């Protein structure tokens, strides 16, 4: 069985037991496919949510509009990738600074790098969907807010976000 590292475990502390179970099951499924996942955020205080809102990293200000993170029903994840061909091993953040660095390292165009990053997040989200199915949970991924299977109709993309909606 695969286990999360110390940093991921720190971010799992405080989230609801269902979210913890979801993450553990997703990591197990990912490990079976020789993939890895890091948890990079979990429970947030109002102050932390407001700071992210001020930076434009969320549409929820933490007061008028609460985040699922504030009640322990959400985590943020990142795929841990090993792109040996491009000599890149590490966590994908999906931010523009990292994409710019990956363009230099890989020799790929910005569009090609974004497509690879998106594929990695999409593939990792599928482990969470599979885990949710096995556990009888309903979840929402920040790459498909309306859960219609189409990732092109989002007005705000948060590829590393998973939120627990309840039992099926």
Q: Which residues contact 67 (CB under 8 A, 6 or more apart)?
A: 44, 49, 58, 60, 74
Provide the CA 163 distance to its chain's centre, in angstroms: 10
Closest CA to 124 of 167, 72, 81, 74: 81
* 151 vs 121: CA distance, rounded Å: 11
Tell me the mean pLDDT in the region 66-83.
Answer: 94
Are 136 and 167 a contacting pair, CB within 8 Å?
yes
DSSP, collapsed to helix, strand or coil, labels residue 144 as strand
The pLDDT-based confidence of 84 (bands split at 50, 70, 90) is confident
Residues 130-152: tens digit of each pLDDT: 999 999 999 999 999 999 988 88
| Per-residue confidence (pLDDT) for residue 1, from 0 to 100 | 64
Residues 34-47: tens digit of each pLDDT: 899 999 999 999 99
Quote the strand ranges of the chain, DSSP E: 36-41, 74-83, 88-91, 137-141, 161-167
């Amino acid at each position: 069985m695969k286990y999360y590292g110390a940093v991921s475990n720190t971010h799992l502390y405080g989230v609801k037991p269902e979210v913890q179970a979801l993450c553990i099951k997703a990591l197990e499924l990912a490990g079976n496919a020789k993939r890895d996942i890091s948890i990079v955020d979990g429970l947030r205080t109002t102050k932390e949510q407001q700071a992210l809102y001020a930076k434009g990293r969320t549409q929820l200000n933490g007061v008028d509009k609460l985040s699922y993170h504030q009640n322990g029903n959400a985590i943020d994840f990142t795929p841990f990738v090993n792109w040996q061909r491009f000599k890149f091993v590490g966590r994908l953040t999906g931010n523009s600074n990292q994409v710019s660095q990956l363009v230099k390292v890989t020799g790929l165009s910005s569009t090609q790098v974004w497509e690879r990053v998106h594929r990695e997040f999409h593939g990792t989200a599928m482990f969470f969907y599979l885990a949710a199915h096995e556990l009888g949970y309903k979840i929402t991924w920040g790459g498909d807010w309306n859960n219609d299977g189409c990732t092109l109709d989002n007005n705000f993309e948060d590829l590393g976000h998973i939120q627990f909606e309840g039992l099926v």
